[in-house]
Amino acid sequence: MTSCVFCSIISGDIPSKKIYEDEHTYAFFDISQVTKGHTLVVPKHHHKNLFELPESEVSHVFKTVQKVATALNKTFSPAGLNLVNNNGEAAGQTVFHYHVHLIPRYDQADGYQ
């Protein structure tokens, strides 16, 4: 039994809107879309935060971040994209399974933030 919501998403026990998956990583829409296309990239293994992420997993995570960012650009044509990674409660982390937020940014004229 796991009490980690992202481990449950990766195992399929909790449904998610999958964007991309490979041997090491999983990407899915954030349930609470800060902007249209807001996506999370996670390693499949459970690591709490950046400080516990093994060096060998860093490249896997960021290769997927780049792939998914490119796909989001093609799909949503945002004006820009923020990568956000909160580490620790004091930094705003609420799910303690390492993840990177991909937040597409739109011109205000588009009606998105």
Q: Which residues are catalytic?
A: 99
Binder among 6, 26, 28, 98 for Zn ion (CB under 5 A): 6
Site for ligand 5GP in 32-91 (CB under 6 A): 32, 86
DSSP state at residue 58: H
Binder among 13, 14, 70, 79 for ligand 5GP (CB under 6 A): 14
Nearer to ligand 5GP, 7 or 67 (CB): 7
Tokens standing for residue 37 = 């296309």
Binder among 62, 71, 76, 93 for ligand 5GP (CB under 6 A): 93
Site for Zn ion in 9-68 (CB under 5 A): 46
DSSP state at residue 61: H
Task: Give the closest residue to 72 by CA, choosing from 24, 109, 23, 17.
Answer: 17
Task: Give the closest residue to 4 by CA, choosing from 35, 60, 42, 38.
Answer: 42
Length of the chain: 113
Binding partner selected for residue 57 from Zn ion, ligand 5GP, none, CB under the kind-specific 5 to 8 Å limit: none
